[in-house]
């Protein structure tokens, strides 16, 4: 299949993940119609991703604060290849007591503003990891497992009723799908993969925090309300534990 001089794959196998937002959303109301799906597809574009109460992140709850969509990325040192690791999360998991940010027990310091009838460690977090590092499928399987470490650094434990969903892909080796001659692939040596692991952990951790900080208090079905993490109080807690930015930018 060709379009404007470019060759496109004539078929695709899309991946669709799901998170439960039934505390805020009338999930059995069948409110999404064909025209809404068409509008979403027609409006899809590249560029910066809106965070917080947007898209599939609209009804999310993270650590019993308002969750949502979050992103973060890391650029590896030139000596490690200069590759980019980007992470997108749909943060919808965790209990308040375990919430930790930069090593600070934020959940214990801000123990109020709790939503009613939202048990801890429920929901499902989606983590999408993208990189331009030349990784083969078996290496991406290793990378994607590191998302769990980023979640754990924020206090997630992979609760019993939380369906944690991770996927990773590499944009390198663009000719891997060619069906003529031999496909030549590049692969990052396994001994050089640790910086990618570290970037994945860090970006996952930060993306979740970004989702929570960008989110806003929301009331939904049956008057259920989930509160956004209070920014000023969060700053005070971080100062208390000497985690405020040294340049005064918090």
Catalytically annotated residues: 124, 162, 164
- Is pLDDT above 80 for 85? yes
- Is pLDDT above 50 for 221? yes
What whole-number percentage of the chain has pLDDT above 70?
A: 94
For residues 101 and 238, the answer to whether their CB atoms sit within 8 Å is yes
**pLDDT tens-digit series, residues 87-99:** 999 999 999 999 9
| Domains defined along the chain, listed by start | 49-172+184-240 (3.60.70.12)
pLDDT of residue 250: 42
The predicted model gives 78-83 an average pLDDT of 97
For residues 31 and 9, the answer to whether their CB atoms sit within 8 Å is no
**pLDDT tens-digit series, residues 155-167:** 999 988 778 999 9
The DSSP element (H or E) to which 131 belongs, if any, is strand 126-131
- Is pLDDT above 50 for 248? no
Task: Give the pairing of strands 165-170 and 126-131.
Answer: parallel
State the DSSP string of 10-49: S-----------TTTS-TTS----HHHHHHHHHT---SPP
Instruction: Give the Cα separation of 140 and 167 in Å (integer).
Output: 9
pLDDT of residue 148: 97
Q: Where are the alpha helices (DSSP H) in the chain?
A: 34-42, 106-109, 137-145, 147-153, 194-214, 231-240
The predicted model gives 58-85 an average pLDDT of 97
The more confident residue out of 225 and 118 is: 225
**pLDDT tens-digit series, residues 98-146:** 999 999 999 999 999 999 877 788 889 999 999 999 999 999 999 999 9
Q: Which of 126, 132, 170 is nearest to 148 (CA)?
A: 126
CA angle at 162 for the pair 100 and 206, rounded to the nearest 5° = 35
pLDDT of residue 249: 39
For residues 215 and 228, the answer to whether their CB atoms sit within 8 Å is yes
Band (pLDDT 50/70/90 cuts) for residue 174 is: confident
The more confident residue out of 19 and 11 is: 19
The predicted model gives 9-37 an average pLDDT of 88
pLDDT of residue 162: 78
Instruction: Give the Cα separation of 66 and 99 in Å (integer).
Output: 13
Residues 6 or more apart in contact with residue 22 via CB below 8 angstroms: 59, 221
pLDDT of residue 13: 81
pLDDT of residue 18: 87
Q: What is the mean pLDDT of the chain?
A: 91
Which pTM value belongs to this model? 0.90
């Amino acid at each position: 299949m060709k379009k404007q001089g470019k060759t496109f794959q004539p078929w695709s196998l899309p991946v669709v993940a799901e998170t439960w937002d039934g505390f805020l959303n009338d999930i059995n109301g069948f409110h999404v119609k064909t025209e809404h799906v068409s509008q979403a597809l027609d409006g899809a574009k590249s560029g910066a991703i809106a965070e917080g109460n947007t898209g599939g992140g609209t009804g999310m709850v993270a650590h019993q604060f308002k969750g949502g969509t979050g992103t973060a990325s890391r650029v590896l040192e030139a000596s490690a290849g200069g590759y980019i690791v980007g992470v997108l999360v749909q943060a919808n998991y965790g209990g308040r007591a375990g919430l930790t940010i930069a090593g600070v027990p934020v959940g214990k310091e801000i123990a109020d503003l709790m939503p009613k009838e939202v048990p801890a460690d429920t929901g499902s977090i989606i983590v999408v990891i993208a990189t331009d590092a030349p990784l083969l499928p078996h290496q991406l399987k290793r990378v994607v497992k590191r998302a769990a470490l980023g979640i754990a650094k924020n206090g997630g434990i992979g609760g019993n009723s939380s369906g944690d969903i991770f996927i990773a892909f590499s944009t390198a080796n663009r000719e891997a799908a060619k069906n003529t001659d031999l496909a030549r692939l590049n692969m990052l040596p396994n001994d050089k993969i640790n910086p990618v692991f570290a970037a994945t952990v860090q970006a996952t951790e930060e993306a979740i925090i970004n989702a929570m900080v960008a989110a806003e208090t929301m009331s939904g079905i049956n008057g259920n309300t989930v509160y956004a993490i209070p920014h000023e109080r969060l700053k005070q807690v971080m100062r208390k534990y000497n985690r405020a930015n040294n340049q005064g930018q918090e």
